[in-house]
Chain A
Amino acid sequence: MKYNSMDEANRAVIEKISGSAPFLVDVVPAKDKIKELTEGKVLLHAGPPIKWEDMTGPMQGSCIGAALFEGWANTEEEAKQMLENGEVTFIPCHHVNAVGPMGGITSANMPVFVVENRSEGNEAYCIMNEGIGKVLRFGAYSEEVINRLKWQKNVLGPTLSKALKLTDNGLNLNVMIAKAITMGDEFHQRNIAASLIFLKEISPYIVQVEDIDNKDLKDVIKFLADTDQFFLNIAMATSKAVLDGARKIEEGTVVTAMCRNGKDFGIRISGMGDEWFTAPVNTPQGLFFTGYSQDDANPDIGDSAITETFGVGGMAMIAAPGVTRFVGAGGFSDALTTSNDMMEICIDQNSNFTIPTWDFQGACLGIDARKVVETGIEPVINTGIAHKQAGVGQVGAGTVRAPKECFEKALEAYAVKLGLI
């Protein structure tokens, strides 16, 4: 190891996190940035690697929707056939600089945000938020869903791309996150402030876009104004870009990714590079929409835990008193306890993102896998809850814990790699 101690290595990693400079620079079809998507029928998915037959309902539903959207199949049956026959290659989003919410299913022609981390010169991608209700990420694939995806491909994506190109340098995401965290967002369960800031920043450019018809303009603004969680996917791409920049330091025990595929929870730590350490996922606990209950909940799924890895989301519960009830926590004092607990497993605090409701302490910075194992405090993740059947969609929201077995396995492997055991 080229550092004198684990603490020193970890410090180097978190300095890259706090020193990052993420900018939203473009929206492009996924295939423009991810060449793997042009090599036959390929789908990206959330979490560590998984086979079709092991996927839970929502992810399978998303695959069917993606096949319909890409025109690989005309009917649900055809799509299913194709997937079951193994005609589609699956790659984890994380393996191609991307992240995806819930099922995380991303195909060649879906538009993705491009976030550039200028401190390290790397990029990360994430598909756009589709709003709530019947949406692909929760496994819905009705006509309404496919039509919305097509609209995003044909209208929303190109419009935002053009608008972003009119900005000087893209949108400075650290600034937007810093503002929104003081306005009660934690960037996983609540993004309403950040989404508004995004709308505020981008609208002057959207209205300057040439060759856009009036209806499309109205639809774009209406969609952005209606979609409270629009910024979530930008926050995810931001977190991914920042953490991928930081894990260029290939030493230390800082957690550099957390994600779930509905079956396994996977983490990466800085010292172990691309290797995943997995354990069976937990099922989120929380509040359910009328008519649904805990029995309907799909096991934990999605790459969105990248926000917690970055130090926001559940880790910054205290920043968002407004959602503490929604995610099942018992109120402000429980949110405070949660964030204080999370600080026990983090190395430092990110002074870029100070939280007023936490006496202006910075958000959590750098989950140390050693501290997770030492204390048994598992990182908390704020999450939407998908129905376990494909196509039903979101049925609630709550919290879930990252299983400590992942962290134990990672530390053991790292100790072996360093020749310590």
Chain B
Amino acid sequence: MIYTIVKKNSYQDSINLMLLTNSISTIEGVNKAQIMMGTPANKDIFKTAGLYSEELETAESNDMAIVVDTDDENKMSEVLEKVEQYLKDQSISNKGNDFETVRTWDRAKKALPDATLALISVPGQYAAEEAEKALDLGLHTFIFSDNMPIEDEVRLKKKAHEKGLLVMGPDCGTGILDGVPIAFANVVKKGRIGIVGASGTGIQEVTAIIDRLGEGVSHAIGTGGRDLKEPVGAITMMDGIRALENHQQTDIIVVISKPPAKEVRNEVVDLLHSVSKPVVTIFLGEKPTQHEGNVYQAYTLEETARIAVDLAKGNEIKADYNQGNFEAANTDLKPSQRTIKGLFSGGTLASEAAVLISDALGLGSAITNEDGYVLKKDGHIVVDLGDDKYTQGKPHPMIDPETRARFIDEAGADEQTAVILLDFVLGYGSHDDMASALLPSIQKAVSHAHNEGRTLHVVASVCGTETDPQDYQAQKKKLAEAGIIVKDSNNEAVRTALAIVGLKVKDVQKAHVDAKAPAKAFDLTVSKEMEALVNNKPSVINVGLKSFTDSITAYGGRVVQFDWRPIAGGNEKMRKILALLK
């Protein structure tokens, strides 16, 4: 029986409600539960989940809808009690914030008059509008929100460029500005390596390795995954490169990108050949064969970090960074066990795994994506569980273990599986203790296979630093003690998994050649707004997810929390009228 409770005018952001949903779902006797704001889109999700009721129709955008499937009506009072407790605990934990909370841009600007950055994590359909307001207020904009139409991205980035501002994103998961981790980011030492990246976990992996190798990062500027696509034309990446070129404390520039449009790539590389600083590039899916002039070209994220660190330390650059022993002992596989199942929470880490496995299979290094499967060949799979396909109405796998646990179950039951390959991404935003959260599923899968006479290998890398909010060493230890082969980088983990199934990536020795002269001259100057962004700790108007304030206050940035709600409660008619009454 389905029961519905509508709490009028009780707005919570979606991450909070997803966590609350998880907590309610664990109540004994609750078959299924879903708690969401009563927006039209969410009502569709309720329908899909088989949790639709008449009463749900009365819920509006600012109302919290709690729908529970239970055989015992009395459970509802327990559910309600738990919901109230959760919301109350939250308001207690909200007490004593050292930042102001506001509800409008006007107040936000008054509360933080010298704000430099707007961090926007509102639902995708509203992100462009809010980003536009931020730009109009002269703010650089970091758009965490995804699902923004590309036309909006192009318009916003052009506008920002005109105004001397930077739009990081949309779908920008990570950033580090002057030592302050933004959104999903690791705590990394400050240093001389500046990064511009069109990928979230790509930046996380490279910055974490740089930190562990003893060097540091000046800034890591996210661009969003589509910046190097044709219509956008790398507006943010090129402006970011210029900003780092002009930033005194940056000595080395690192560029990380997903597969770019060819024209755009050439334009970016031409710009890189024009800057005065050494550059390390990685275009995922490309297997470079040489370094050219000031531009060092890497194949893997680990190699990217290692070259940058050697440049920072003044060491000679090696021809090959992939030497290493990746053999695993006692592999003891049944003949049926031939495949790797890569189950990833990080999109770029998944892509890197796909590239390396595909390369080792002799299939080239190009990346595909089908329903989140970035590789699906001969029984090998690599799946990005953070893909939209798996995150509709569910928390991201970096926050919540549930989806990945399900895939681990399936992989364990598959008698072809030789290796389960995993990533554990630490840092702000991520789960407090994902190792403990996933271990039960991993152990269950291993023992299930064992009972059927198979040895199931699990290889994992942990992307994190000693200073992350989670305990990096303890995470590694927990995994290792459970019999998991733990590697420092995703590159090593993938190569180890390949070794277990008897495969190997063929690496190239890269020569260092002179660069061709760039096709045109570039203006390398930057606006004073851009100088202000790179030469100061960020002052942030955080529009949306409140948890993003944690890392900013912890690392000396200033922040005002903008508790965003849809304009006019999502009432389209009033929204139009408001737009007219200017």
> Are the C-beta atoms of B103 and A333 separated by less than 8 Å?
no
* A341 to chain B: closest residue by CB: B103
User: Does any Cβ of A come within 8 Å of B62's Cβ?
Assistant: yes
B104 contacts A414, CB within 8 Å? no
The answer to the question of A235 belonging to the interface, with a C-beta cut-off of 8 Å to chain B, is no
Find out whether the CB atom of A253 lies under 8 angstroms from the CB atom of B62.
no
Segment among A52-60, A223-231, A369-377 that sits at the interface with chain B: A369-377
CB nearest to B570 among chain A residues: A376
Within 8 A of A (CB), among B67-103: 95, 100-103
For B576, the chain A residues whose CB sits under 8 A away are: 421
**What residue of chain B has the Cβ atom nearest to residue A5's Cβ?**
B582
Question: Which chain A residue has the least Cβ–Cβ distance from B103?
Answer: A344
Is the C-beta of B574 less than 8 angstroms from some C-beta in chain A?
yes
Indicate if A415 sits at the interface (CB-CB under 8 A).
yes
Most buried by B among A5, A344, A377, A418: A344
**B577 and A412 contact, CB distance less than 8 A:** yes
Q: Which stretch of B354-362, B365-373, B470-478, B561-569 is in the interface?
A: B561-569
A411 within 8 A of B: yes
Q: Indicate whether B580 reaches chain A with its CB closer than 8 angstroms.
A: yes
CB distance from A291 to the nearest CB of B (A): 28
Give residues 109-164 of A contacting B (CB, 8 Å): none
Complex interface: chain A residues within 8 A of B567 (CB): 374
* In the complex, chain A residues whose CB is within 8 Å of the CB of B580: 415, 420-421
Partner of B581, one of A333, A340, A414: A414
Check: A408 CB closer than 8 A to any chain B CB.
yes
The reply on B107 being an interface residue by CB < 8 A is: yes
* Cβ of B578 under 8 Å from chain A: yes
Residues of B within 8 A of A377 (CB): 103
- Which residues does chain A contribute within 8 Å of B104, judged by CB atoms? 344, 371, 374-375
Q: B108 — nearest CB in chain A belongs to which residue?
A: A344
**Nearest Cβ in chain B — how far from A369, in angstroms?**
9
Residues of the B chain whose Cβ atoms lie less than 8 Å from the Cβ of A415 = 577, 580-581
Q: Do A344 and B581 touch (CB < 8 A)? A: no
Task: Give B568's nearest chain A residue, CB to CB.
Answer: A373
Q: How far is B581's CA from A341's CA once the two chains are assembled, in angstroms? A: 22
Pair A375/B565 contact, Cβ less than 8 Å: yes
| A363 on the B face (CB < 8 A) | no
Q: Considering the chains assembled together, what is the distance between the CA atoms of A412 and B578 in angstroms?
A: 9
**Closest residue of chain A to B564, judged by CB?**
A375
* Beta-carbon contact of B62 and A370 below 8 Å: no
In the bound complex, what is the Cα–Cα distance between A420 and B577 (angstroms)? 8
Contact B62 A376 (CB under 8 A): yes
Interface residue from B9, B103, B574 paired with A373 (Cβ < 8 Å): B574
Q: CA–CA, A408 to B575, complex, Å?
A: 10
Closest to A420 in B: B580
CA distance A374 to B101 in the complex (A): 17
With A376-B62, A376-B569 already in contact, the answer to whether A370 and B107 are too (CB < 8 A) is no
Which A residue sits closest to B104, measured CB to CB? Answer: A344
Of all chain A residues, the one with the shortest Cβ separation from B565 is: A376
Q: What residues of A have a CB within 8 angstroms of the CB of B62 in the complex? A: 376
| Minimum CB–CB distance for A243 against chain B, Å | 20
Asked if A411 and B578 sit within 8 Å, CB to CB, the answer is yes
A interface SS class = helix
Do residues A408 and B581 form an inter-chain contact, with CB atoms below 8 A?
A: no
Q: Which residues of A contact B581 (CB under 8 A)?
A: 6, 253, 370, 411, 414-415, 418, 420
What is the minimal beta-carbon distance from B129 to any residue of chain A, in angstroms? 12
A237 at interface, CB cutoff 8 A: no
Q: What 1/0 mask marks residues of chain A from 330 to 361 whose CB sits below 8 Å from any chain B CB?
A: 00010000001101100000000000000000
Interface residues of A in 401-421 (CB under 8 A from B): 408, 411-412, 414-415, 418, 420-421
Instruction: Kindly state the separation between the CA atoms of A169 and B565 in the bound complex, as whole angstroms.
Output: 50
Report whether B577 and A421 are in contact in the complex, using a CB–CB cutoff of 8 Å. yes
Distance (whole angstroms) from the CB of B580 to the closest CB of chain A: 4
Could you tell me the distance between the alpha carbons of A344 and B110 in the complex, rounded to whole angstroms? Answer: 11
Of all chain A residues, which has the CB nearest B576?
A421
* A209-253 vs B, Cβ < 8 Å mask (1 yes, 0 no): 000000000000000000000000000000000000000000001
Contact B107 A343 (CB under 8 A): yes
Does A370 contact B95, Cβ atoms closer than 8 Å? no
Residues of B134-165 whose CB lies within 8 A of A: none
Give which listed residue, B9, B106, B577, contacts A411 with CB less than 8 A: B577
Chain B residues near A5 (CB, 8 Å)? Answer: 582
Measured between beta carbons, the chain A residues less than 8 angstroms from B574 are 373, 408, 411-412
CA distance A45 to B543 in the complex (A): 45
Q: Are B578 and A373 within 8 A (Cβ)?
A: yes
**A379-421: which have CB < 8 Å to B?**
408, 411-412, 414-415, 418, 420-421
A403 to chain B, nearest CB (A): 12
- Identity of the chain B residue whose Cβ is nearest the Cβ of A414 in the assembled complex: B581
Complex CA gap A375/B568 in Å reads 6
In the assembled complex, which residues on chain B have CB atoms less than 8 Å from the CB atom of A370? Answer: 578, 581
The residue in chain A whose Cβ has the minimal distance to the Cβ of B571 is: A408
- Nearest-Cβ distance from residue B331 to partner chain A, whole angstroms: 61
Nearest CB in chain B to that of A376: its residue: B569
Taken together as a complex, chains A and B put the C-alpha atoms of A7 and B581 apart, in Å, by 9
A418 CB contacts on chain B under 8 angstroms: 581
Say whether, besides A5-B582, A421-B580, A374 and B568 are in contact (CB < 8 Å). Answer: yes
- Which one of B62, B103, B581 has the highest number of Cβ atoms from chain A below 10 Å of its Cβ? B581
Q: Which residues of A contact B573 (CB under 8 A)?
A: 412
Q: How long is the Cα–Cα vector from A370 to B575 in the complex, in angstroms?
A: 10
Given that A415-B577, A421-B580 are known contacts, is A376 also in contact with B107, CB under 8 Å in the complex? no
- Per-residue CB contact flags for chain A residues 44-81 toward chain B (1 = under 8 Å, else 0) read 00000000000000000000000000000000000000
> CB-CB contacts of B377-411 with A at 8 A, as 1s and 0s?
00000000000000000000000000000000000
Q: Is the CB of A376 within 8 A of B577?
A: no
**Residue in A333, A370, A373 whose Cβ sees the most chain B Cβ within 10 Å:** A373
Given A5-B582, A333-B95, answer yes or no on A375-B577 (Cβ-Cβ < 8 Å): no
Interface of chain B residues 99 through 120 with chain A (CB within 8 A): 100-104, 106-107
- Indicate if the CB atoms of B577 and A344 lie closer than 8 Å: no
Interface 1/0s, chain A 1-30, versus B by CB < 8 A? 000011100000000000000000000000
Contacts of A7 in B (CB 8 A): 582
Within the assembled complex, what's the spacing in Å between the Cα atoms of A5 and B104?
A: 19
- Indicate if the CB atoms of A344 and B102 lie closer than 8 Å: yes
A-B contact pairs, 16 of them (CB 8 A): A5-B582, A6-B581, A6-B582, A253-B581, A344-B102, A344-B106, A370-B581, A374-B578, A376-B9, A376-B569, A411-B574, A411-B578, A412-B573, A418-B581, A420-B577, A421-B580
Extra inter-chain contacts (14) besides given A374-B567, A414-B581, A421-B576, CB under 8 Å? A6-B581, A340-B102, A344-B103, A344-B104, A344-B107, A370-B578, A371-B104, A373-B578, A375-B104, A376-B9, A376-B568, A377-B103, A418-B581, A421-B577
List 7 A-B pairs, minimum CB-CB distance, nearest first: A420-B580, A344-B103, A376-B569, A415-B577, A344-B104, A375-B103, A373-B568
